[in-house]
Amino acid sequence: MDFKKILLVINPKAGLTQQRYNIFDIIESFCERDCITTTLTTLKEGDAVRLVEKNAAEHEMVVCSGGDGTLNETVTALLKSGVNIPIGYIPSGSTNDMARTLAIPRKNKKAAELIMEGEPKPFDVGLFGKDKYFCYTASFGAFTKISYSTPRKLKNVFGHFAYVMTGVAKAYEELIPRYVKVEADGFECEGEFLLGGVFNSRSVAGLIKLDKSDIVLDDGLFELILIRKPKNTDALYKTLNELSRQRFTDEHVIFRRVRNAKFTFDAPTPWSLDGEFGGDINEVEVKNLKHAVSIFGKKN
């Protein structure tokens, strides 16, 4: 590991209250390898973008510690600034979908050691519209609102259970289908869908899970998932049960791998980008930016 100048960006508000870390566990791992670490903390949403854009060029790698939103901001900053340095990720959020996908340990010391002992690997990033980026999910419809509408204090105390509690409270509100036309690499469909979007992850808010053998994070392809409105509650239960078993052959489920996709709605529809609110959208094009960044993982 030859990287000596590290920019460490920490979101101190992310994560479970009982799992708040001592940052010296992280810095110690870097110091043991004779690295010089510049440590900065975020105070509000958007700070990671600003801090990384301003300081990344002076460093040989950037390490972000926080939830999936902090990683998203770090990736966004590098792509907007054009600075090409690898990313280390130390997960400390409530759900950490990306950490599961990348097989990054939840313990901060172990995650830091993985960065020091691992290697940067290419990773695809999604471009949402003209200027927004996402690492693992851009989605609309049922349950996607949960990730950004659940109060942060609740997430910090209860973790993923907070999503479950919020989901139960919002179940009836969220099960409203959205009428949308989808065009993706020559494939077209339209109709009423409860949930839809593109994914580059093995876990999405703990609600949709994909087999790790089916997901390639650097192949230039998204997993497009669309779930039609079932005719009755029995059909809905069957569909959700099939999804929980990682089966995508249900008649209400469309599953394809695509490079690009265009979504056109009949009314403004809220989107979630990596668990954060992405805006109310009538029409949007989503593109896969193959090998847009590199993120540290285990050596092969």
User: Tens of pLDDT along 80-103?
Assistant: 999 999 999 999 866 667 787 888
Sequence ranges of the domains in the chain: 5-117, 133-291
> Which H or E run includes 80?
helix 68-81
Q: What is the pLDDT of residue 164?
A: 42
Beta strands in the chain (DSSP E): 5-10, 36-41, 61-66, 87-91, 119-128, 132-134, 137-141, 178-184, 187-199, 203-204, 208-209, 222-228, 253-258, 260-273, 276-297
Type of residue numbered 115? I
Q: What is the pLDDT of residue 168?
A: 41
Q: What is the pLDDT of residue 158?
A: 39
Q: What is the pLDDT of residue 71?
A: 94
Cα dihedral 112, 135, 45, 60 in deg (nearest 10): 50
Domain made up of 5-117: CATH architecture: 3-Layer(aba) Sandwich (3.40)
Q: What is the pLDDT of residue 206?
A: 53
Secondary structure of 159-174 in HEC code, one letter for each residue: CHHHHHHHHHHHHHHH
Tokens of 173: 């509100």
Domain 133-291 belongs to what topology?
Tumour Suppressor Smad4 (2.60.200)
Euclidean distance between CA atoms 186 and 262, whole angstroms: 11
Distances 126 to 43, 200, 220, 253 between C-alpha atoms, Å: 26, 9, 10, 22
CA angle 123, 30, 88 (to 5 degrees): 15
Q: What is the pLDDT of residue 156?
A: 46
Query: How many residues are listed for the chain in this entry?
Result: 300
Euclidean distance between CA atoms 71 and 64, whole angstroms: 6
Q: pLDDT averaged over consecutive 10-residue blocks of the chain (300 residues)? A: 83 61 82 93 94 97 92 97 96 74 87 94 97 94 56 45 42 70 96 90 64 80 88 74 71 91 96 91 97 93
Euclidean distance between CA atoms 121 and 299, whole angstroms: 9
Distances 295 to 18, 84, 103, 145 between C-alpha atoms, Å: 27, 11, 12, 27
CB of 72 within 8 A of CB of 134? yes
C-beta neighbour count of 97 within 10 angstroms: 28
Q: What is the pLDDT of residue 113?
A: 93
Task: Sort 12 into a burial class: Cβ within 10 Å, 0-12 / 13-18 / 19+.
Answer: middle
- Residue listed under structure tokens 């979908």: 97
Euclidean distance between CA atoms 116 and 98, whole angstroms: 19
The whole-model pTM stands at 0.84
